[in-house]
Structures are given as C-alpha cells and as structure tokens.
Amino acid sequence: FLTHLPLAPKDPILGVTEAFQADSNPYKVNLGVGVYTDEQGKLPLLRSVALAEDQINTLKTARGYLPIEGLGRYVRQVQTLVFGENSPVLQEGRLVTVQSLGGTGGLKLGADFLRWFHPAAEVWISDPSWENHRALFEAAGFVVKSYPYYDPETHGVDFDKLIRTLEGAPRGTIVVLHACCHNPSGVDLNEAQWQAIRAVVVERGLIPFLDLAYQGFSQGTEKDAVSVRYFSELPIPVLVANSFSKSFSLYGERVGALTLICASREEAQRVQSQLKRVIRTNYSNPPTHGASIVATVLEDSNLHQLWEDELGAMRNRIRFMRQALVSCLKEAIPDQDFGFVAEQQGMFSFSGLNLAQVRRLRQDFSIYAVDSGRICIAALNEQNLERVVEALTQVIRE
C-alpha cells in the first residue's frame, strides 16, 4: 500500500528550518521559526530552569508513570498562572486542566475532545493564523473556515469585518482566538475589541478556544492573560491551550496544558473523565521532566521571580530589536513607513514582504523568512541586524 504513497508537502515553517540547516553560508539567518534566541543568537537555557533542574537532580527521583492528566503540582501552577490566584472559576472547582505535549498537544486534545462530543461544529480560525491550526483541526476531523483578522492596508485588525463575520457564525461554532501575540501578524486585539467578541460569542452561542502560546511576551504574564480571564467570567464552555515552550525556553520538553472551563464542579468531573479517555487512547500519560521543571520554578517564590525577570528580559530585547529594525529601515528606505513593526506584539512581524521577495531573501542572501512574509523578530540581534536590513532594503527596493 506504500507503493503509490505521495510525498507530503514540507511543513511551511519547519521546512524553512530544514532549508536553513542545509545552507552552507556562514552568515545565514533564520527568521522563519518561532524561537527566541538571545543577543548572541543562541537558544537560552534560563537560569531559573537550570536551578530548578539542579534541585530536581539532587532529589534523584525515580520515573514512574504520571497520572493520565499529568503532574498535580504542575496542573495547579498552570491554573494559577493562566487564570490568576484569586480566580473564581479556580476557587469554584470549575477548571479541568490536563498536562499536554506543548501547546500543540493542548490544542490537539481539545480538538479530539470537541470532535468526540461536539462533532457537527465547524472550527473557525483567524485569517491568517498559525499554519498548524488549520491542519490540526482538519486532522481531528473538522471542517475549518476562517474569519477576517489582519488588514494589510492598515497593518491592523479589520475589526468590523471580524465582528460581522462572527455574528454570522452558526451556533456552536468553535472559534479559535489568539489570546495574545497573534501569530503570524503580531497584531493583537484591544480590550474593547475583546469585550465585543465576548458579547458575540455569548449571543451566538459560540465556543471560544483560546490559544495562549506566548504568555509574558507582550505586556507580562498577568496582562497577557486578560483575554482568558474575560472569557472565564462567562457561563459557557471555554477551552484554553497554553504553552511554556517559549516562556521557559523549553521547546523540546513539550510542556503545555489544556484547560476547560465548566459550569460546575460536577460537570468538571465528567469532563475530566472524558478528557482522560482522549489522553489514554493517544499517548496514555505525559512525560515527567518538563512539567516538574515548570512546577519547581513556579512554586518557589525566588525562582518564580527570577523566571519573571528572565521572561521580561526576553520581552524587552524583542521590543528593542523591533525599534532598532524600524529605525534602520527608516534610514535605508526613508519613503516607506515601517513604524507598524514597533507596534506589533510578541515574536513575530508580518513584514509585508511578498513571496517573490521572501524567495529572493533566501536565494541571494541566505535569510530565511516564512513564505507568508512572517519574520521572527526574536531571531534578530545586533550582529545580524545590519545584514538583514541590507538584504531587506535590496529586495524591497527592486
């Protein structure tokens, strides 16, 4: 049956990294993948993480199976960080949180759960969205459609269109929302816009599925969870997938979670029992190490503060590189305004480059961006900035 198996297309983002790795140019730059690198261009090992690992290592614990839903200490910390210490839904026992294999794993558990128990719904994602959203929900068996989001003319959100489209969504539609640091555009919703979406969600009986992959990369861990907290006030089911890949620089450990907000403690118990079935039939139970690092850091007030500081330094460095990029481009191409890049949030920028320009960057300059024109600002540093600006200037000018 494999004789005529077609070759699958390369992943749009990880495919860029494969091409980057095969490039022998010593001055190559990977602006494709969504990974934070420091001012030396290196993937950081956070000090808070290293200290937590030291603690874990001295304990020399054996590695038994975790419960299906994951490490209890970790689950509690996720709930506090995402929903807030004084969260009513937390205190009322209405949250069901399960450890997942990164944010992707949280989305997939949510998708499978919804497909089992809400199979006729459509899934609506933003246009554009993280490339894997469509593929992941389609793979779970859903029809995936998109709602308008980014407006290339204004470099902002086309909010009127967005709201009008959501108002026309069939009841029960699952709406995937980027909680902060929209990927790929870097353009976020403001408070009034979140409130308006919330009102439509209630009125139309939609099911919000919030994707919180970048908590702490916009304004800080508390402020970046505001959208999640708005939705947690509603008497409707809400799903939240969160990730520590970026905020702890723990990409390879696959640490994330899925939380469902339920109407009551009793409903939460039923939901948890079914979610455990989804997990059991997929991978049985999650791995120990990443979750114990995150739990150890978040439980200890000193390590927690150190982590917040390290996360703040990552956030500030990205903001600094945005400003540096804008001012260099202003000098190089004075007749064009790139000020919007400094306004965007999180790791990414929708640069406005078209496909031909992205290809030219790759072929002539060994600078790798995603075909959509998305560039990762967190991959810029003072050593590669000049090269990137020179190359951008050439491809934009022609």
Tell me the closest approach of the beta carbon of residue 177 to ligand PMP, in angstroms. 10
Residues making up the chain, counted from first to last: 398
Please check whether residue 255 is in contact with residue 238, taking contact to mean a CB–CB distance below 8 angstroms: no
Pick 102 or 128: Cβ nearer ligand PMP: 102
194 is catalytic: no
Tell me the closest approach of the beta carbon of residue 186 to ligand PMP, in angstroms. 11
Q: Which residues bind ligand PMP (CB under 6 A)?
A: 34, 102-104, 130, 178, 183, 211, 213, 243, 245, 256
Written as six digits, the tokens of 354 are 């078209």
Nearest residue relative to ligand PMP (C-beta): 102
Distance CA 224, CA 185 (A): 16
DSSP for 138-174, written as a single string: HHTT--EEEEE-EETTTTEE-HHHHHHHHHTSPTT-E
Distance CA 221, CA 350 (A): 23
Pick 70 or 102: Cβ nearer ligand PMP: 102
Tell me the closest approach of the beta carbon of residue 4 to ligand PMP, in angstroms. 32
Tell me the closest approach of the beta carbon of residue 101 to ligand PMP, in angstroms. 7
Pick 310 or 389: Cβ nearer ligand PMP: 310
Pick 365 or 373: Cβ nearer ligand PMP: 373
How far is C-alpha 394 from the chain's CA centre?
Answer: 31
Distance CA 203, CA 226 (A): 21
Buried b (16+ CB within 10 A) or exposed e, 32-48: bbbbbbeeeeeeeebeb
Distance CA 22, CA 9 (A): 18
Written as six digits, the tokens of 137 are 């929900």
Tell me the closest approach of the beta carbon of residue 246 to ligand PMP, in angstroms. 7
Side-chain half-sphere CA neighbours of 389 within 13 A: 20
Tell me the closest approach of the beta carbon of residue 225 to ligand PMP, in angstroms. 15
Pick 89 or 213: Cβ nearer ligand PMP: 213
Q: Are strands 174-178 and 207-212 parallel, antiparallel or unpaired?
A: parallel
Pick 77 or 391: Cβ nearer ligand PMP: 77
Pick 121 or 378: Cβ nearer ligand PMP: 378
Pick 210 or 380: Cβ nearer ligand PMP: 210
124 is catalytic: no
Listed residue (166, 172, 170, 168) closest to 126, CA to CA: 166
Scanning the chain, the segments in alpha helix (DSSP H) are 14-22, 47-59, 72-83, 88-91, 102-117, 131-139, 159-167, 191-204, 226-232, 265-280, 289-299, 301-332, 340-343, 355-365, 385-397
Tell me the closest approach of the beta carbon of residue 43 to ligand PMP, in angstroms. 13
Tell me the closest approach of the beta carbon of residue 359 to ligand PMP, in angstroms. 23
130 is catalytic: yes
Q: Which of 124, 224, 246, 307 is catalytic?
A: 246
Q: Which of 112, 211, 224, 307 is catalytic?
A: 211
Please check whether residue 395 is in contact with residue 353, taking contact to mean a CB–CB distance below 8 angstroms: yes
Distance CA 91, CA 321 (A): 40
Tell me which residues are annotated as active site: 130, 211, 246
